[in-house]
């Protein structure tokens, strides 16, 4: 097996996606090691999750930089850069990265978004799907570019929307598929099966379409190969 990829995860809150990634590394589904978890929120529960696994945690409290926002972003960059990561994962990180941060980790940053992009970028995705009376929702893992929620799509996972769904019930169902596709994506990247080049995404050197891979049982089998 090739060397483990070094992963830094950025979080802002509860960290349930972080938990799935920690478990994926621990079980060796992911050939990677989370070397640090960085948060802008000192009260993020995800920090406790990381410490349970013995992971380095760093807090860059954005409240200390309300006037000097540039300094805040520089501190986040320095916190991540010191670990020389192969992959930077945004797992519920609620700050927009700077252009210089993104360019410094070109093709190495992935994000998860709770909708089937390009539908509903930004916030309030579940309510927007319900208001539109969509029959299907889901989540998307994509490479990060300077344009918000618009980078090349890697994997999408779908869930049904039921007539009696509320925003909370839909959020819960989407979160379950988020955990699965985040682990799958990270595993495929760390194994070298997923690569990005020239704003395109390749799986085993085959070019993916604009909507990436649709998550299904075949992905699970691929992870076990």
Q: Is the pLDDT of residue 140 over 70?
A: yes
Instruction: Please calculate the CA angle 149-185-193 and round it to the nearest 5 degrees.
Output: 120
Q: Specify which residues 5 forms β-bridges with.
A: 32
pLDDT digits (tens, 9 = 90+) for 51-68: 999 999 999 999 999 778
pLDDT digits (tens, 9 = 90+) for 36-56: 999 999 999 999 999 999 999
Assign 1 a pLDDT band (cuts: 50, 70, 90).
low
Residues annotated as part of the active site: 113
pLDDT digits (tens, 9 = 90+) for 94-118: 999 999 999 999 999 999 999 999 9
pLDDT attached to residue 207: 96
Q: Give all strands of the β-sheet with 32-39 in edge-to-edge order.
A: 56-59, 32-39, 5-11, 87-90, 109-113, 136-143, 153-160, 213-214
What domains appear along the chain, each with residue ranges and CATH number? 1-105 (3.40.50.170), 112-225 (3.40.50.170)
E-assigned strands of 73-191?
87-90, 109-113, 136-143, 153-160
How far apart CA 152 and CA 199 sit, in angstroms, is 6
């Amino acid at each position: 097996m090739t060397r483990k990829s070094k992963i830094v995860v950025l979080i802002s809150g509860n960290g349930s996606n972080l938990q799935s990634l920690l478990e994926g590394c621990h079980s060796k589904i992911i050939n990677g090691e989370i070397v640090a978890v960085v948060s802008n929120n000192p009260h993020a529960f995800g920090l406790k999750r990381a410490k349970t696994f013995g992971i380095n945690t760093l807090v860059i409290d954005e409240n200390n930089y309300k006037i000097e926002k540039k300094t805040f972003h520089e501190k986040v960059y320095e916190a991540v850069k010191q670990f020389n990561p192969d992959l930077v994962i945004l797992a519920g990180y609620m700050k927009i990265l700077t252009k210089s941060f993104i360019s410094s980790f070109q093709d190495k940053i992935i994000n998860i978004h709770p909708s089937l992009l390009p539908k509903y970028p930004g916030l309030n995705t579940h309510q927007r799907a319900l208001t539109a009376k969509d029959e299907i929702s889901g989540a998307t893992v994509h490479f990060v570019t300077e344009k918000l929620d618009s980078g090349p799509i890697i994997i999408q996972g779908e869930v049904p929307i039921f007539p009696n769904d509320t925003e909370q019930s839909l959020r819960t169902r989407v979160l379950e598929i988020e955990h699965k596709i985040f682990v799958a994506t990270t595993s495929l990247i760390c194994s070298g099966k997923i690569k990005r080049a020239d704003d395109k995404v390749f799986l085993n050197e085959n070019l993916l379409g604009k909507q990436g891979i649709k998550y299904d049982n075949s992905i699970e089998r691929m992870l076990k190969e």
